[in-house]
Amino acid sequence: MKNLFVLAAFLFAFNTSAQEITTYHEIGDGLAKVVVYKGEKIIQEGFVKKEGKVWINTGTWVQYDFDGNITLEVKYKDGKREETIAYQDKKVIKVYRKN
């Protein structure tokens, strides 16, 4: 029984340390910076702006691996994806641009 309790406590601690947490930092004029953490590491960050009652993506959003390397970069304009760049081993592997 004691081993079961220790195992359950370990799994709970492991699970809570790997949760994704999203923070919003209002910059002003309907613009906010969004940062997504997994544990203590930043795995994604970008910006949103308010259009009426809706928040839309704007500017550049960046996704990171657990070593802090960029894996994906997405550029938005007026809430629409304009360009996506994928990276692997710190090199560009694919670029998609909307025409």
Residues 6+ apart with CB under 8 A from 8: none
Return phi, psi of residue 70, to 5°: -70, 130
The pTM of this model reads 0.75
Give the pLDDT of the chain (99 residues) as one tens digit per residue: 444 444 444 445 555 456 899 999 999 889 999 999 998 899 999 999 999 999 999 999 999 999 999 999 999 998 999 999 999 998 999 898 875
Residue environment code for 63-88, b if the CB has 16+ CB neighbours within 10 A, otherwise e? bbeeeeeebebbbbeeeeeeeebbbe
C-alpha–C-alpha distance, residues 97 and 15, integer Å: 37
